[in-house]
Structure 1
Amino acid sequence: MSKQQLSLEPVGGCCVPIMDAALDSAAAVEGASVFKALSDPIRLRLMSIIASAPGEVCVCDVTPLFNVSGPTISHHLKVLREAGLVDCERRGTWVYYWVLPERLTWMSTLLSVPAPAAG
């Protein structure tokens, strides 16, 4: 796209202001990694299950909900953890997961778009 197309100068009698500072490069890179982690259907479902739980979720409780092996579930949970969406703690044989609420707030803020002005 050329600079002329991004200009705020009227083109053909029309001008649409663009907020260039809506999302800086660093936030875009970080956001892309988070949404990449959520782009897999199993990970998105895992995130939904963990986020909707009233407390921590044991991996032993979520594994039976999927038609994949335990190691596959562990891999997907690791991806969510590396993206900063969940955290976990090992207790004996089992690992318990919970959502990081500050990360959900960050995602919500990232996606919030001001409503267009009326008229």
Structure 2
Amino acid sequence: MCNINAAGVTGNIATSLQRFFNGSLDPFVRDLIPTSVTHLVLESEGMGPYDKALDALFRHFRAVRRSQLPNLQEVHIACKQAADNAYKQQCNKIVAEGDREGVVVRLQPFGFSSVNWDG
């Protein structure tokens, strides 16, 4: 579990990622998500630039997973019906990339009142 505010990323995460990290995912993953993380939950309304945040977080997923998130097994992402199309497309892309890397990615249509982890 990690706290985005404790990592120094404040305000809109998509804007912060683009400005602070100049499009490079490595510092974000290394500083925000510990290598010991096995299960990850990402919650968003799916409106505005959140598709860009997902793109930044999961860009080069194969390399990032192997080098910085080797223990990652499962990801839950809020993907509500009201989310914009760009966000939904990014969510579907992440499901496919996770599948290729052996990471279960579940899209949650209603948020996270309860999350059931595999196993």
Q: TM-score range by the shorter chain?
A: under 0.3
**Which structure is larger by alpha-carbon Rg, 1 or 2?**
1
TM-score after normalising by structure 2 = 0.27
Higher relative contact order (CA 8 A, sep 6+): 2
Q: TM-score, normalised by structure 1?
A: 0.27
